[in-house]
Structure 1
Amino acid sequence: MNSKIKVAILYIATGRYSIFWKHFLSSAEKNLLIECNKHYFVFTDDNELLSQDSCDKVTFIHQKKLGWPYDTLMRFDIFLTQKAKLKNYDFIFYFNANTEILSEVTVSDLLTINNHQDLIFALQPHSFHKKINKFTYDRNPNSSAYIPYNSGKFYFTGALNGGKSKAYLEMCETLNANVRKDLNTETIALWHDESHLNKYALNRSDIKILPPYFTRGESEYWKKSSKIMFSDKTHFRFGGHAYLRGETDQKIDQNEWERSRDRQKKRHGFRLKQLFKSLFIIR
């Protein structure tokens, strides 16, 4: 029965990103795989969270803040610290700190029901419509994440990924090794963990691809069917992206955020391109 499916949820809340945790937990408990036995593994340096006792729902693990970009680049290494426990789950999923589960996500929505599918990836909600040579793959041939032009088919987000536990942990092992290999030559992939994830996905046939509008950014309000949203980390209510990363102690104000938003405002052409592409992506 579905209630017997054990799912490990990986969540990183170091530094100022711990601000998102309670809201994520509330939305996930309400809407995420309610048929399953879920357990949250929370990697954090937040003393308030660490002072809470782990329970049947949540395990808090001390993880020091590594600084940008290592907080995201080294996430596969972070996950592997719990490998012995994670092996006991049927599925493992990682969710970005700023994730909100908007509506019910069922087993059939998220988990693989095909024996040939081992991993589950989500399309990058802002750029899945682009032509392959416009994807922001890492084009540096010295990087383990290198993907040459005219290669690839999809661009996946690093904000949501998962899979059967054995396959997911194998992915973490491979990507952690690739990241460390790059660091030994002072190379950092363009979009860090996301670049390595896309290289790993290249030409694989065992990936369940979530539908184009399954996820959306906070400002992409027209994607009415989206079940998962990523809150706008540039928003003044969080202090702005650089503040969250710890690159500055200065929060942005509302006026600064609104000016930035005006510059980045999506036009109708962007929406039409995404709508057209979404009709032709294999589900």
Structure 2
Amino acid sequence: MLQRRVNQDSPTTSRDLRYSGRIASTPGALPPKSFLTTLVPSARVMDESASESTVSASSLEDVTAGLRRPSKYSFHHPTTSSVKVRRSSPTPRTDVNSVTNWNAPLVWEGTFDPVVIDNIYRKINPRIAVVVSAVVLNKFVVVFCCVLFLIFLKDFLESSEKYFLVGFRVTYHVFTDNEQEVPKIALGEGRKISVVTVPSAKRWQDVVFGRMKWIAVTIDKQIRGEADYLFMIDVDSVFHNRFGAESLSQLSAVLHRGYYQSTRREDFPYERRPKSKAYIPSHEGDYYYTAAMAGGYLEDMYKYCYEQSEEDAKNNIEAVWQDESHLNKYFLYNKPTKVLSSEYLWSDYDAIKPEIKVVRISHVVKDYAKVRPNGGM
């Protein structure tokens, strides 16, 4: 049973509201002196029995034009080289909060030293698993969706090799119903691709819910013995800048880029229907997190989300934002040990806000009418 770590019956204070939306009307709280060290958890005992498997994959050819929206919808992504930040001694930022009200780090560009953090973790030499899903929706759009999602996969993998935890051991677990079309990508030392075959789906919502089940099963059968940290990242994303070891923790959540500035819990799009297992009352909540990116030891989270969605299905109800609704309920009762700012998942649909000093990864612009033919954003 989940245990609430914060007294939900206590009256809401101005401090609660300030942190619930992350950005205050006054300068953000400065991080404690131990902030830098809290970015690095104690080393976890590792299982060195990771299996080495070679996955044969055919290259993706005949890239179909027009699968993405015109480039005019995309925004320029600022680079880390354009951000003037002291690297030897991080200067606390006063325009954002860099710690949550449960004293977990809230990570922004300029709140950590990337060289120090990466060097510490390289000595630990963790094994990192990344789960991405490229699944066809149904037989009527099989060709289109196959090409579309595998183009996403190619761009995702190529950009990840440039920016995601470079120099660390990474295994990409690709969930797909079309193993033969997984693109061949030049991988760095200690990095590999593992293909997990899963069934196709009739609706994109079914892909979302199925992903929770597949991840839970794959963790149980394979990933648990092969990785120390797991990331789940949407395949329709591209890395633009360094995404380093500062993101690692037992449970890392990412602030949704559409709600990270909100200071009202009532504004968060939580599931508000009591009938759903994802229900969160209007007076509760810390932040609104995206389900498109999460990291850490995720087995319990995915098992919980899948089981709760199954209970909803039995009661003929589907959470308003599917797995994201259940994930936010989980994080309410299981506080993240690290919260990553919206730098760690932006969207090419949105203009970049002043406090977003660098976009590390973003959702690409796409035609939702074709990607999600039964509706939804």
TM-score range, shorter chain: 0.7 to 0.9
Question: Quick one: structure 1 residues 10 and 66, their matched pair in 2 at CA, closer, same or farther if it must change by over 3 Å?
Answer: same
CA–CA distance in structure 2, aligned partners of residues 80 and 213 of structure 1: 27
Instruction: Report the secondary structure of 1:21's partner residue.
Output: helix
Shift of 1:174: 1.4
Instruction: Report the secondary structure of 2:222's partner residue.
Output: helix
Q: Aligned residue for 2:129?
A: 8
Deviation string, structure 1 residues 67-111 (Cα, Å, up to 9, x no partner)? 321111232101123122110210000001111111111112x11
Structure with bigger helix share is: 1
Matches within 5 A, 1:204-215: 204-215=334-345
CA–CA distance in structure 2, aligned partners of residues 49 and 42 of structure 1: 11
Q: Aligned residue for 2:151?
A: 19
Q: Aligned residue for 2:288?
A: 155
Identify the structure with bigger relative contact order (alpha carbons < 8 Å, sequence gap 6+): 2
Q: TM-score if structure 1 supplies the norm length?
A: 0.76
CA–CA distance in structure 1, aligned partners of residues 158 and 230 of structure 2: 19
Shift of 1:208: 0.8
Query: Does the 8 A contact of 2:150 with 2:182 survive in 1?
Result: no
Number of matched pairs: 232
Instruction: Report the secondary structure of 1:82's partner residue.
Output: helix
Q: Mind listing any 5+ residue stretches in structure 2 that lack a counterpart? A: 1-120, 137-144
Deviation string, structure 1 residues 193-251 (Cα, Å, up to 9, x no partner)? 00000000014334310024332110334244121111123xxxxxx112112449xxx
Q: Aligned residue for 2:302?
A: 172
> Aligned pair 1:137/2:270, yes or no?
yes
2:248 maps to which of 97, 100, 111: 111
1:45 maps to which of 156, 177, 182: 177
CA–CA distance in structure 1, aligned partners of residues 343 and 241 of structure 2: 13
1:80 maps to which of 198, 208, 216: 216
Q: Aligned residue for 2:61?
A: none
Q: Aligned residue for 2:193?
A: 58
CA–CA distance in structure 2, aligned partners of residues 87 and 105 of structure 1: 23
CA–CA distance in structure 2, aligned partners of residues 245 and 46 of structure 1: 19
CA–CA distance in structure 2, aligned partners of residues 111 and 97 of structure 1: 20
Query: Does the 8 A contact of 1:138 with 1:195 survive in 2?
Result: yes
CA–CA distance in structure 1, aligned partners of residues 207 and 335 of structure 2: 30
Shift of 1:51: 9.4
2:321 maps to which of 191, 200, 223: 191
Q: Mind listing any 5+ residue stretches in structure 1 that lack a counterpart? A: 113-117, 234-239, 249-283
CA–CA distance in structure 1, aligned partners of residues 374 and 178 of structure 2: 18
Q: Aligned residue for 1:92?
A: 230
Hey, which bits of structure 1, 4+ residues long, moved more than 6 A? none
Which stretch of the first structure deviates more once superposed, 29-38 or 222-231? 222-231
Q: TM-score if structure 2 supplies the norm length?
A: 0.58
CA–CA distance in structure 2, aligned partners of residues 148 and 36 of structure 1: 41
CA–CA distance in structure 1, aligned partners of residues 327 and 306 of structure 2: 11
Residue identity opposite 2:248 in structure 1: L
Deviation string, structure 1 residues 129-152 (Cα, Å, up to 9, x no partner)? 222101100001111100011110
Query: Does the 8 A contact of 1:18 with 1:44 survive in 2?
Result: no
CA–CA distance in structure 2, aligned partners of residues 101 and 182 of structure 1: 34
User: Aligned Cα RMSD in Å?
Assistant: 2.2
Q: Aligned residue for 1:32?
A: 164
Percentage of matched positions with identical amino acids: 25
Query: Does the 8 A contact of 1:42 with 1:60 survive in 2?
Result: yes
Query: Does the 8 A contact of 1:74 with 1:193 survive in 2?
Result: no
Instruction: Report the secondary structure of 2:343's partner residue.
Output: coil
Q: Aligned residue for 2:21?
A: none
Query: Does the 8 A contact of 1:11 with 1:94 survive in 2?
Result: yes
CA–CA distance in structure 2, aligned partners of residues 211 and 245 of structure 1: 27
Structure with bigger strand share is: 1
Query: Does the 8 A contact of 1:72 with 1:193 survive in 2?
Result: yes
